[in-house]
Chain A
Amino acid sequence: GESVGLHLPTLSVQEGDNSIINCAYSNSASDYFIWYKQESGKGPQFIIDIRSNMDKRQGQRVTVLLNKTVKHLSLQIAATQPGDSAVYFCAEDASGTYKYIFGTGTRLKVLA
């Protein structure tokens, strides 16, 4: 069935470097995407979203890029900090009814 997947299960980054977390989605009809951050023992927390009529959106230290041609989503974190260590999920709204499909997640480890 339609699903959202991630290329890298674990990403280790040196503190201060930029991080890039990737996500592939399979439903070309999806029109809304969200990145979530989940810290250990907590629920997922919204980071940034993007609609399909955009190819880039920036937040504070984070940027989401959407490439609809290859159905690829990425999350860029600038100047990665120890507090960025978490699991990151992408999610797509494939039906327009707010039922999001989540990927399995990428664990980001920030090295001091």
Chain B
Amino acid sequence: NAGVTQTPKFRILKIGQSMTLQCAQDMNHNYMYWYRQDPGMGLKLIYYSVGAGITDKGEVPNGYNVSRSTTEDFPLRLELAAPSQTSVYFCASSSNGDRGYYGYTFGSGTRLTVV
């Protein structure tokens, strides 16, 4: 089925380790996003991309990096993991509005624990 695929679903990291959260969409969406969701909280934007080769910071970019070499993929890189990065990470993509619907399609999330 078409949608947004995130891997892995769960991960435990030690402080100082690095990892890449993968995100891929097959809907030919130009816009892609990374959000984090802390327990009992709303979603905060980390990074976003409006097309291949273009990325920009969101509300909470510190400690993260992204790249967008293709339309389909938008990986999120954590360098030197810290306990404050323990969260659930959601990738999303957005249509270009040609159906009159501008909302996101979300992946199922990656639950990350840093110990």
Contact = CB atoms under 8 A, between A and B. Distances in A.
Interface of A: 4, 32, 34, 36, 41-46, 49, 89, 91, 93, 97-100, 102-105
Q: Decide if the interface of chain A is mainly helix, strand, loop or mixed.
A: strand
B67 interface: no
A98 B107 CA distance: 17
Contacts, number: 53
Chain B's interface size range is 20 to 34
A44 B107 CA distance: 8
B94 interface: yes
A49 B109 contact: no
A46 B102 CA distance: 10
A51 to B, nearest CB: 9
Contacts of B92: 43
